[in-house]
Amino acid sequence: MVRMAVAMRPRWSNWAGTYACEPVSIESPASEDEIVAVVNAARAAGQRVKVAGVGHSFTDIACTDGRMIRLDRYDRVLDVDTAAATATVQAGITIEKLGVELARHGLAQENAGDIAYQSIAGAISTATHGTGATLGNIATQIVGLSMVLADGSLLTCSADTDPDLLAACRVGLGALGVISTVTLRCLPLFNLHSVEQPRDLDEVLEQIDALVDGNRHFEFFWFPHTDRVQSITNNPTAEPIRTRGRASTYLNDILLENSAFGLVCRIGRARERWIPALNRFSVRLLSRSEVVDTSARVFANPRLVRFSEMEYAIPRAAAVETIGELRAMIARREHLVGFPVEVRFVAADDIMLSPAHGRDTCYIAVHIFQGMSYEPYFRDVEAITSAVGGRPHWGKLHFQSADTLRPRYPRFDDFLAVRNRVDPERRFGNAYLDQVLGRS
Ligand SMILES: Cc1cc2nc3c(=O)[nH]c(=O)nc-3n(C[C@H](O)[C@H](O)[C@H](O)COP(=O)(O)OP(=O)(O)OC[C@H]3O[C@@H](n4cnc5c(N)ncnc54)[C@H](O)[C@@H]3O)c2cc1C
């Protein structure tokens, strides 16, 4: 009988295929009352409970051995205040749907990451970010939220009523409760002028402050085993939308960035020694391109190639030195790295567990194609970023524990105090939270 019950458990796995779990059940509440009912039922049965967004974290942060909640039926816009430029939405809404709905009201998110598949609650819970030296991660856009707690009660907090509690809940790693609704500070709808351009890495590093401070959004992708990068600048413009033609869009965005890239990755996986030559071939295909489009469409791109990723938030002042060390380490340790390294910039914030807490930040992301061993490379990168006090992205692979993370977060113990208050029995706990927050 026990064997039958285990066999009937549903299986859930994340997008990258790096983690899977078999929850007791997967439930899709469609109202706040139904969320409360799932939490109460879990408590009555002595089970743990965890919300999974759309599984776009590379870690096991969303895994559970208890009840899993999916909020794909709880994804509507509840209220838009166009005068105040705020919107209150149900937590399961995806960034993509949010962008479409906000645009109907003449509004937009001030910044976003480079995909739009995530749920808003999943994105803020791991401090998902885009790029822009004056802009915080997505969680900094949240000015209020409501959350179902372990005892079934509803907590509401806002920047006006309880900024300190909001500073814990905005990047909560799913450890504090089920976020039910969030209120976002938005901007009037705006277009971005986006310019992609191949450059030399050394030239970019020499001009880094001018590039980062001179553009609302600046980032670059460096291709290991070459000295070339593709840089991207996005700046607000009053110009009307001017996209590439459909055929050209397909060529640039899908074929070069995804399908053709996928083919190159598969060749590299089959013949690892060819990777440096494949990278040199790829950078020859890079070209300058320019579009003007709505901010939401410029921020997000499809991602058809699957990979494993680690990303570190380091002090912005350490960016040039750290990238130099990364480059030297890849050569010295003879890592064969087919995926470009992505470098972005984010403003400091005051959120307790934000990797950008208290310091202007440079994010360095490293990737390995699905099915290839990532650990030796990621561990070497982690040693370099850790030496400058790097903090890992909560949704991306890393090898840290509560002991190594505590000294990197000035308000780590304040977060644990909030957790002890709202979830003393660890109803929302899981193995990942034991690792990064500790077992106590
Ligand atoms: C292809 C790809 C591209 C990416 N690009 C970026 C990027 O540009 N920038 C960046 O910073 N990150 C990026 N990420 C990482 C991604 O944004 C984060 O991992 C994000 O958390 C995923 O959101 P999700 O909805 O899938 O949440 P999940 O991964 O499913 O869950 C993440 C966490 O949120 C919690 N959670 C979800 N919903 C709730 C809720 N209602 N209440 C409480 N907790 C909740 C979960 O319990 C879990 O702890 C990328 C990931 C992929 C796979």
Q: What is the pLDDT of residues 339-382, one digit of tens each?
A: 999 999 999 999 999 999 999 999 999 999 999 999 999 999 99
Q: Whose CA is nearest to atom 22 of ligand 1?
A: 56
Query: Is 255:304 a contact under the CB 8 Å cutoff?
Result: no
pLDDT bracket for residue 251 (50, 70, 90): low
Encoded tokens for 41? 């039922």
At 261 the pLDDT is 86
pLDDT at 246: 61
Q: Which helix (H) or strand (E) holds 418?
A: helix 412-422
Closest by CA to 425, choosing from 42, 10, 16, 12, is: 42
Span 77-188 CATH architecture: 2-Layer Sandwich (3.30)
- State residue 252's pLDDT score: 64
DSSP 3-state of 270: helix
CA distance linking residue 51 with residue 66, whole number of Å: 10
pLDDT at 1: 42
Mean pLDDT lowest for which of 95-109, 138-152, 210-224, 234-248? Answer: 234-248
Structure tokens at 293: 């489009």
Average pLDDT, the chain: 95
- Pair of tokens at residue 190: 């705006």
Closest CA to 396 of 18, 138, 133: 18
**Residue 431 scores a pLDDT above 60:** yes
Residue keyed to tokens 């959120």:
351
What's the mean pLDDT in 176-193?
98
Other beta carbons less than 10 A from residue 136's beta carbon: 23
Tell how strand 154-158 and strand 142-148 pair up: antiparallel
CATH C-level class of 191-392: alpha beta
Residue 197 CA to ligand 1 center (angstroms) comes to 29
- The region of weakest confidence among 55-59, 140-144, 232-236, 288-292 is 288-292
At residue 2, the pLDDT reads 44
Distance in Å, CA 246 to ligand 1 centroid? 30
CB atoms within 10 A of CB 439: 9
CA distance 336 to 340: 11
Fold agreement (77-188, 191-392): no
Q: Which residues line ligand 1 (CB under 6 A)?
A: 15-16, 50-57, 61-62, 71, 91, 113-115, 118-119, 121-123, 125-126, 128-129, 173-174, 178-179, 303, 393, 395
What's the pLDDT score for residue 14?
A: 97
Tens digits of per-residue pLDDT, 381-395?
A: 999 999 999 999 999
Residue 302 above 90 pLDDT? no
Indicate yes or no: pTM above 0.85.
yes
Q: Using CA atoms in the order 424, 425, 431, 432, what is the torsion angle rounded to 10 degrees?
A: -30
- Using DSSP, state whether 275 is helix, strand or coil: helix
Is the pLDDT assigned to residue 205 strictly greater than 90?
yes
Q: Where are the domains of the chain?
A: 77-188, 191-392
Question: To the nearest whole percent, how much of the chain has pLDDT over 70?
Answer: 96
Q: What is the pLDDT of residue 303?
A: 85
The CA R_g of the chain, rounded to the nearest whole Å, is: 21
For residues 399 and 385, what is the distance between their CA atoms, to the nearest angstrom? 12
21 vs 12: CA distance, rounded Å: 5
State the closest ligand 1 atom to the C-alpha of 51, by its place in the atom list counted from 1. 47
User: For residue 227, how far is its CA from the centre of ligand 1 (angstroms)?
Assistant: 32
- In the chain the first and final C-alpha atoms are separated, in Å, by 34
- Going by pLDDT thresholds of 50, 70 and 90, the confidence category of residue 256 is low
pLDDT score recorded for residue 285: 86
Please give the number of the atom of ligand 1 that sits closest to the Cα of 71. Answer: 41
